[in-house]
Structure 1
Amino acid sequence: MVATLDRRAPAPVRTRRRSPMRRRQARTAFAFLAPALVFFALLFFYPLANEFVTSLFAGARADEFVGLGNYTRAFGDAQIRHAFAVTLQYGLGALVLSIVLGLVLAVILNQNLRGRAVFRGILLVPYLTSVAIVGLLWRNILDPQVGVLNRVLAAAGLPQQQWLTDHPLATLIGITVWQQTGYVTVLFLAGLQGIPHLYYEAAAVDGASVWRRFRHVTLPLLAPTTLFVSIIGVISSLQEFALPYLVTGGGPAGATDLFVFRVYQTSFAFRDFGYASALSYLLLIVILVLSVVQLKVGQRHAT
């Protein structure tokens, strides 16, 4: 038996044309998006591109083309390595303490306590306060001569401390934790209130203690919130500038010379705009890499 071939011509491909109404809708959508696109183009993408071009030049006027010379120079700069190491210490210390204290306060405020709404509002006051005000406030509080904290220590019969010279980095971490803990607490509190109470009831029926319920129910279900807090904390710590500028001035002897403060010094004190631009781009790359790593680790633990 010979199979017969179907020699019918293939059906023509129909092209879908947009109706006049759909074209009008598309134009309307682009018209509404145009201000945002112009905003991002002028205030984000153009400065970003211009910053990269500037990083390829050197000199006070950024008129000497050096290519990637500023980037290779950064890896051999001892001051930059020191500033990055100090920034990592500062960021890690502030992040860990903020997460621990924020989680503890969130667990406490998640209980049926009288006046807990008032305490939530009080905790947010430092976060909502301007960084400039926070820096100047704590600089006055920690002043070795007229500061309130040393007066309290003297009244209690305790030795007074030179907070800004003997413990500068720890002091800076403490101020950051004081300012950020309220915000972290609110985030963890939202995560706790999103956990169904049914899980705790089932764990209690199985005989799980309070600690086991916290360890095996609360912590795993708070993993997305913890991941978000960690990413935001790392980004804000690496970009911190106002506190070292206002409280310690990067000193003493570079003990609080954070990376962005070093970029500021390179740009406005030493007038090396090309090198400062290259340092800014390196910081951007570090932030992107750390954020991706945190997301990958968080997704792996979530699965």
Structure 2
Amino acid sequence: MSLSARYARTAYLFLLPALVFFTAFFYVPIANVIATSLHTGPQADVFAGLSNYADALADPSVRHSFLVTLGFSGGVVAGSLVFGLLLALVLDQPLKGRVTFRAMLLVPYLTSVAIVGLLWRNILDPQLGILNRLGLDQQWLNEHPLATIVGVTLWQTVGYTMVLFLAGLQGIPETYQEAARIDGASAWQRFWRITLPLLAPTTLFVSVMAVISGLQAFGQAYIITNGGPGDATDLSVFHIYATAFKTRDFGYSSAQSVLLLVVIVLFTLMQLRAGKRGEVTY
């Protein structure tokens, strides 16, 4: 056996456990969901073909939940990019105690969505919330529910985004900045012409992950607002959950799940293709 063949065999042996794991807990469940989406009835035992997909595409409530999810994802992506980069730029400076601040900002990300949701639901409760007890009368959950869960999501995740941008900033060669200073470039010019373009790979990764997590969001709507008021925060996954476990229509909910998966894959491919066009190498 040649040396390259032995290397290939060794590589496949190391990959085998991961392949088995993903097959058993990812690909097989997806195949089961696709199969369920082609059936109808309380037990999803009556073959229905593509009728569930046609019904989902024509359902106004499904379209509404998708539009709400797009708004939520857009807010999360924009906030993650802006606030994560700003915090990274500040904490990349030689400030006293910056390691402590980095750790403090990362703690919410290490906390589960359930705990964060319960925490902010109590803080923002219009009757018994902490803000009301302090005399700051507010109705955020009733008047601005979608903006509220976007803000809570950013509060939880911006520390992780900051860490990613910090890694990107520290990977930029200092010689570029020094050369720009010698040429008389201002701080803004150095940021716009050097730092931002060289952060393109990090920015792409952050935006892709933010879009995926935004389109898959569930806990925020379930715990903080329960999809309300009305259907103002009826995110797609929450809508799928309600369809599956309240109406017991598992075939229809599975079809919605598959459609959401297709949308997530398409968005991801579009972002990766756009990022590849603007790829910066150094």
TM category (shorter chain) comes to over 0.9
Indicate the residue corresponding to 1:81 in structure 2.
63
Structure 2 portions without partners, runs of 5+? none
* Residue type at the aligned position of 1:89: G
Indicate the residue corresponding to 2:162 in structure 1.
185
Indicate the residue corresponding to 2:187 in structure 1.
210
Indicate the residue corresponding to 1:220 in structure 2.
197
Question: What TM-score do you get using the length of structure 2 for normalisation?
Answer: 0.94
Indicate the residue corresponding to 1:261 in structure 2.
238
Indicate the residue corresponding to 1:3 in structure 2.
none
The 2-side partners of 1:74 and 1:128 are apart by 36
Q: Deviations over 1:162-190 (max 9, x none)?
A: 12111111111110110111010010011
- Pick from 192, 203, 215 the counterpart of residue 238 of structure 1: 215
Does residue 45 (structure 1) correspond to residue 22 (structure 2)? The answer is: no
The 1-side partners of 2:119 and 2:221 are apart by 13
Indicate the residue corresponding to 2:177 in structure 1.
200
The 1-side partners of 2:185 and 2:50 are apart by 59
How many angstroms does 1:34 deviate by? Answer: 4.2
How many angstroms does 1:283 deviate by? Answer: 0.8
* Residue type at the aligned position of 1:67: G
Structure 1 portions without partners, runs of 5+? 1-17
Q: Deviations over 1:113-135 (max 9, x none)?
A: 11100001001000000111000
Does residue 276 (structure 1) correspond to residue 276 (structure 2)? The answer is: no
Indicate the residue corresponding to 2:44 in structure 1.
62
How many angstroms does 1:24 deviate by? Answer: 8.3
The 1-side partners of 2:156 and 2:266 are apart by 26
From the superposition, tell whether residues 57 and 209 of structure 1 become closer, same or farther in structure 2 (CA, over 3 Å).
same
How many angstroms does 1:30 deviate by? Answer: 5.6
Indicate the residue corresponding to 1:133 in structure 2.
115
Q: Deviations over 1:183-224 (max 9, x none)?
A: 100100110011111111111111111111110011000010
The 1-side partners of 2:65 and 2:107 are apart by 30
* Residue type at the aligned position of 1:59: G
Question: What TM-score do you get using the length of structure 1 for normalisation?
Answer: 0.88
How many angstroms does 1:298 deviate by? Answer: 0.9
From the superposition, tell whether residues 33 and 295 of structure 1 become closer, same or farther in structure 2 (CA, over 3 Å).
closer
How many angstroms does 1:60 deviate by? Answer: 1.2
SS in 2 for 1:302: coil
Does residue 92 (structure 1) correspond to residue 74 (structure 2)? The answer is: yes
Q: Deviations over 1:42-95 (max 9, x none)?
A: 212211111111110011111221111111111100000000000000110111
* Residue type at the aligned position of 2:178: E
More off after superposition, 25-34 vs 181-190: 25-34
Q: Deviations over 1:213-247 (max 9, x none)?
A: 11001100001000000000000000000110000
From the superposition, tell whether residues 223 and 22 of structure 1 become closer, same or farther in structure 2 (CA, over 3 Å).
closer
How many angstroms does 1:22 deviate by? Answer: 9.1
- Report % sequence identity: 59
* Residue type at the aligned position of 1:105: L
Q: Tell me how many residue pairs correspond in the alignment.
A: 280
How many angstroms does 1:35 deviate by? Answer: 3.5
From the superposition, tell whether residues 232 and 23 of structure 1 become closer, same or farther in structure 2 (CA, over 3 Å).
closer
How many angstroms does 1:29 deviate by? Answer: 6.1
